[in-house]
Amino acid sequence: MLKYVSDLMTPDPLCIGQTDSLKVAHDLMREKNIRHIPIIDDQGQLQGMLTQKIMIANVMKILATYGQLALERKEKQQKAQEVMATDFVAVRPDEKLKDVATYFVKNRHGCLPVVTEDGKLQGIITSSDFVRLAAALLGSEG
């Protein structure tokens, strides 16, 4: 039975470094069909989160200011650390899934990074993980 975040999270999620460009993040999101990218430093410490919402806002800003032809160049010039969210909540692998599920419902977040006690990125848990879990549980009842 799944009980803890570590039981459901995606371990070792795709992530990028603070100095990687928005172009790198944009390409990763598109190629891997992901909506959240943790941003880490050289020691693997979580520094921020880059979400699809942040990416869309930045792309729209670049398009409105510079036009379509400048999009790729401008994305290459802007670093992830310049736009990443730093006011996020992180969870520990040993937190109970029921508490994290309640947090998702109350706060409408799409993901939560999973970190060790010293802040090292260990995984990511998303609202989609809970939907897949619910589908599996509902399927096992029928």
Number of residues that this document lists for the chain: 142
Helices assigned H by DSSP within 1-142:
5-8, 22-32, 52-66, 71-77, 80-83, 97-107, 127-141
Q: Which residues contact 47 (CB under 8 A, 6 or more apart)?
A: 18, 39, 40, 41, 81, 84, 86
Which pLDDT does position 139 carry in this prediction? 85
Q: Which amino acid is at 118?
A: D
Which pLDDT does position 142 carry in this prediction? 53
Which pLDDT does position 5 carry in this prediction? 96
Give every residue of the chain whose pLDDT is below 70, as ranges: 140-142
Decide the pairing of beta strands 10-11 and 46-51. Answer: unpaired
